Chains A and B, each alone.
Chain A
Amino acid sequence: MQRRQLLKSTVAFSAATVLSAPAIAQTPKKISFLTWNLVHLEAQIKGWIQGFTSTRPGVEVEWIDKKGPEVPVYYATQLAAGTPPDIVDIQGALGLEYAAQGALVDLTPRFAAEAAIKGRYDPDYLSNWVFEGKSYMVPYYVSKTLLFWNKTRFKEADLDKPPANFDEILAAADKIKGGDKTGMLTLNFDWLYWPLMMMNGVDLLSKDLKTPTFKTAKAEEVVAKLAAATKSGAINSISWTGRWVEPNEAFATGNVGMLQAHAPAFFWIKGNGPWINGETLGAAQMPGDWATPNSHGLGISKGSKQPDLAWDFVKYLTDSDVAMQFSRVASVLTGNKAVDQAILAKFEKDDPLAFQVLKTQVEHTDKMCGNWRLGNDSRVKDAFWPEFQSAMLGRKDAKTALADAERRVLRELKRA
Chain B
Amino acid sequence: MTSWYQRKRTRELALVACFLAPALSIFFLYRLLPLGWNVLLSFQSWSPLKAATWIGVDHYEEMLLDDDVFWDALTNTLIFIGCSPIAIALALAIALLVNSDLRGAAIYRTIVFLSYPLMTVAVGIIWRWLYDERGGFFNYVMRSSGVIDQPVKFLQSFDWALPCVIAADFWQVLGFYMIILLTGLQSIPQHLYEAARVDGVPAGARFWRITLPLLRPSIFLCIVVGILNSFTSFDLVYVMTNGGPGHATELLITYIYKAGFGQSRFDYAAALTVVQFLLLVVLTMLANKLSGGNAGSLER
Contact = CB atoms under 8 A, between A and B. Distances in A.
Q: Do chains A and B touch in the complex (CB under 8 A)?
A: yes
B153 interface: yes
A73 B156 contact: no
A201 interface: no
Contacts of A376: 263
B244 interface: yes
Contacts of A243: 242
A79 interface: yes
A67 interface: no
A58 interface: no
Interface string A94-135: 000100011100000000000000000000000000000000
B156 A76 contact: no
Interface of A: 72-73, 76, 79-80, 97, 101-103, 237-238, 240-243, 253, 302, 376, 378-379, 382, 386, 389-390, 393, 395, 408, 411
Interface string B154-198: 011110000000000000000000000000000000000000000
Given A378-B263, A382-B262, A241 B47 contact: no
Given A241-B245, A242-B156, A393-B245, A73 B68 contact: no
Given A79-B48, A80-B48, A386-B247, A241 B153 contact: yes
Given A386-B247, A411-B66, A379 B49 contact: no
B262 A237 contact: no
A390 B246 contact: yes
Contacts of B264: 72, 76, 97, 101, 378
B258 interface: yes
Contacts of B262: 72, 378, 382
A208 to B, nearest CB: 23
Interface residues of B, number: 26
Contact of B153 (A76, A102, A237, A390): A237
B277 interface: no
B48 A76 contact: yes
B300 interface: no
B54 interface: no
A241 B258 contact: no
A80 to B, nearest CB: 4
A220 B266 CA distance: 35
A84 to B, nearest CB: 9
Contacts of A242: 156
Contacts of B263: 376, 378-379, 382
A97 B157 CA distance: 31
A96 to B, nearest CB: 12
Nearest to A233: B150
B50 interface: yes
B146 to A, nearest CB: 17
Contact of B156 (A101, A102, A237, A408): A237
A78 B66 CA distance: 31
Given A237-B156, A382-B262, A79 B246 contact: no
Interface string B48-65: 111000000000000000
Contact of A382 (B242, B245, B258): B258
B294 to A, nearest CB: 40
Contacts of A241: 153, 155-156, 244-245
B207 interface: no
Given A72-B261, A238-B156, A240-B156, 13 more contacts: A76-B261, A80-B48, A97-B264, A101-B47, A103-B48, A103-B49, A238-B153, A241-B245, A253-B134, A376-B263, A393-B157, A408-B68, A411-B66
A395 B158 contact: yes
A376 B268 CA distance: 15
Interface in B193-234: none
A242 B156 CA distance: 8
18 contacts: A76-B261, A76-B264, A80-B48, A97-B264, A101-B47, A237-B153, A238-B156, A240-B156, A243-B242, A253-B134, A378-B264, A382-B263, A386-B246, A390-B246, A393-B156, A393-B158, A393-B245, A393-B246
A358 to B, nearest CB: 30
Given A101-B49, A103-B49, A395 B246 contact: yes
A97 B261 CA distance: 12
Nearest to B158: A395
